[in-house]
Amino acid sequence: MPRIKLFSMKRISQLKIFLFFGTVLLLVPILVQADMSSSTYRIYADVISIGSGYSEDSTYSINTTGGESLAGQMSSSTYQINGGFQYVDLDSSISLTVSPASVDLGELSTSAVIEGTITTYITTASNAGYTLAITNVSGSTITAVSDGAVSAGSEEYGLALSGTNRAFSNDRSVISQTLASSNTATTDEQLDLTFKASISSATLVGSYTQTITLTATANL
């Protein structure tokens, strides 16, 4: 419930933003030429070999194939080749770090745009990259920006991005949307989320709070 505060000779509005974040791990290997699928199944890799099998006990498990002439790892200073059926099941893990987990824009102003920045770092082993998105927004805020820029003296609230793979370069409203994406594996790729707000003389006095969920997904 908004908390109404009365001040003499000026209007003060406050906005607090809280973030929830998580990752979606897709344990699906990269596509290969042998990929076969229909509406009911998918075979992402196959092999013609002289033998194969699966064994396990209480302490280990092992998958085996035999007879592949080019199996193994080859590398130099500029490349690495993982050859053979057993290398197909590559790691598609992903991690998302957010700092800080919340931002308080404090008292908003009619003469300046107030900003607060949250930084995200994404690491994924998926060769198809990742997608970072806002997947849920709740709470109450002032009027969302609609002209591409939050301006002093206008009642506007929005989000700007800074990073190599950002999805947009102007100020956007804070809604469910893609923020960044990549088509390659990444390590600690940084994306800055800058929340901006300004009020006009007609903005209602009050306290505003918004909760945002960020989700990072490893691409197939």
pLDDT of 68 strictly over 60: yes
Rounded CA separation 186/130 (Å): 8
Q: What is the pLDDT of residue 53?
A: 74
Rounded CA separation 33/17 (Å): 46
Q: By C-alpha distance, which of 185, 165, 24, 180 is closest to 90? A: 185
3-state secondary structure the chain: CCCCCCCCCCCCEEEEEEEEEEEECCCCCCCCCCCEECCCCEECCCCCCCEEEEEECCCCEEEEEECCCCCEEEECCCCEEEECHHHCCCCCCEEEEEECCEEEEEECCCCCCEEEEEEEEEEECCCCCEEEEEEEEEECCCCECCCCCCCCCCCEEEEEEECCCECCCCCECCCCEEEEEECCCEEEEEEEEEEEEECCCCCCCEEEEEEEEEEEEECC
How does strand 42-43 pair with strand 13-24?
unpaired
Rounded CA separation 172/210 (Å): 15
Query: For 166-218, what is each residue's pLDDT tens digit?
Result: 999 999 999 999 999 999 889 999 999 999 999 999 998 889 999 999 999 98
Rounded CA separation 194/115 (Å): 6
In this predicted model, which residue has the larger pLDDT, 41 or 150? 150
**Which of 108-112, 150-154, 204-208 shows the lowest per-residue confidence on average (mean pLDDT)?**
204-208
Query: For 69-91, what is each residue's pLDDT tens digit?
Result: 667 777 788 877 777 766 665 56
13-27+93-218: CATH topology: Immunoglobulin-like (2.60.40)
Mean pLDDT of the chain: 80
* Rounded alpha-carbon distances, angstroms, from residue 192 to 41, 119, 163, 189: 39, 4, 6, 10
**Per-domain residue ranges of the chain:** 13-27+93-218, 36-87
Q: What is the pLDDT of residue 174?
A: 95
pLDDT of 37 strictly over 50: yes
Rounded CA separation 71/48 (Å): 12
Q: What is the pLDDT of residue 14?
A: 58
Q: What is the pLDDT of residue 18?
A: 57
pLDDT of 9 strictly over 60: no
Q: How confident is the model at residue 45 (pLDDT cuts 50, 70, 90)?
A: low
Rounded CA separation 33/51 (Å): 22
Cis peptide before 2 (omega within 30 of 0): no
pLDDT cut 90: percent of the chain above it: 50
Count Cα neighbours of 204 within 13 Å in the Cβ-side half-sphere. Answer: 10
Q: Which amino acid is at 203?
A: T
- Residue 111, beta-bridge partner list: none
> What is the pLDDT averaged over residues 136-141?
92
